[in-house]
Amino acid sequence: MTDRLLAAARAARTQAFAPYSQFAVGAALESADGQIFPGCNVESASYGLTICAERNALFRAICDGARSFVRIVVVTDTETPTPPCGACRQLLWEFAPEAEVLLVNLRGDMVQYTVRELMPGAFDRHQLPPRRH
């Protein structure tokens, strides 16, 4: 893991808007060309509208034109490092199934996976019927 990527995820976590859960999360996504895209969670009183840090970073990267990713760091203030939720895993799968997922807590404990390891039996475009023109 690069120090720069971890620093970006830690910094993003400080910007989280989590007044309801008090669960601030920071993420930093690294593109294949080395760019870093940070993201934090942003909550809504209507919980379904909340956006996770991982998807926030991914959407930011996509908006800036990135499409290929090699790793993501997720930072939480938890006893054990916290993995991405199912929605985040699904979107990471669609863009970066082989990317490293590094989960870190504020104490520095780290767990490492690949997106593929977090998504056994994943659903993607290969399960969709062929498009008709």
| Span 26-68, pLDDT tens digits | 999 999 999 999 999 999 999 999 999 999 999 999 999 999 9
Q: Could you tell me which CATH number the domain at 3-127 has?
A: 3.40.140.10
How far is the C-alpha of 64 from the C-alpha of 121, rounded, in Å?
A: 30
How far is the C-alpha of 98 from the C-alpha of 107, rounded, in Å?
A: 27
Task: Find the catalytic residue in 43, 54, 79, 94.
Answer: 54
Parse the chain into domains and list their residue ranges. Answer: 3-127
Which pLDDT band holds residue 125 (cuts at 50, 70, 90)? confident
1 has a pLDDT exceeding 80: no
How far is the C-alpha of 93 from the C-alpha of 95, rounded, in Å?
A: 6
How far is the C-alpha of 15 from the C-alpha of 10, rounded, in Å?
A: 9
How far is the C-alpha of 31 from the C-alpha of 65, rounded, in Å?
A: 10
| Annotated catalytic residue 117 | no
